[in-house]
Amino acid sequence: MKPRQSIQPVILQPAVLQPPVLQNSVVVFSKNYLPVSRINVKRAVALLVTGQAEPLDFSSAVGWIVRSPSVALHVPEHIRLTIGNVERSWKTPPVNRREVFRRDSHTCQYCGSTRKLTLDHILPRSRGGQHIWNNVVAACERCNSTKSDRTPQEAGMVLRAKPKPPVHPAIAFAEQFWKAQEFSPDN
């Protein structure tokens, strides 16, 4: 055993550790009241204190109190951006490998494989098929070469989903969000 020291030990502030409240998440709504994303409380605080967002209390939403030495800030469960217009700044991405693979979750749209992906034109380009979202899918090398210069019908292959242009990320988020909000009528 070490002898007791007369000097008080210095208690280090847990600067790296965050209080549990900061690990909660806040739903961000756009200026047009469309739920766009989920962010952590820390980011929400930054948006609130800089005036880029305001509390949005449309329900009996709970919130959190975040304290600093000088202030206590109430962070609601939902905030609304007061700036920008995220819906308008988004455009349908170009039809390229990266974007098509992303839309198709890096999965061959014929067999479900996630390996050796290529781009397949459903109606082959040699037969007038266009390089557009509705005519391009992710396909593995094998399916692509099996299909060759044929339509899926001619090749006896079935698409897992009808290809569509990707939706706005905020729309996709909103759909998920409202689905998750579904509650009983007496609520």
Query: Least CB distance from residue 89 to Zn ion, whole Å?
Result: 35
- Between 140 and 174, CB nearer to Zn ion: 140
Map residues 143-172 to x or -, x wherever contact with Zn ion holds by CB under 5 A. x-----------------------------
Strand-pair category, 72-76 with 136-140:
unpaired
Q: Please give the Cα distance from 96 to 98 (Å, whole number).
A: 6
Query: Least CB distance from residue 114 to Zn ion, whole Å?
Result: 9
Instruction: Identify the helix (H) or strand (E) that includes residue 142.
Output: helix 141-147
Query: Least CB distance from residue 147 to Zn ion, whole Å?
Result: 9
**Contact of 86 with 92, CB cutoff 8 Å:** no
Task: Pick from 29, 110, 133, 173 the residue near Zn ion by CB under 5 A.
Answer: 110
**Contact of 140 with 116, CB cutoff 8 Å:** yes
Q: Please give the Cα distance from 32 to 37 (Å, whole number).
A: 13
Task: Pick from 28, 140, 170, 174 the residue near Zn ion by CB under 5 A.
Answer: 140
Query: What's the N-to-C CA distance of the chain in angstroms?
Result: 62
- Between 158 and 172, CB nearer to Zn ion: 158
Binding site for Zn ion (CB under 5 A): 108, 110-111, 113, 140, 143
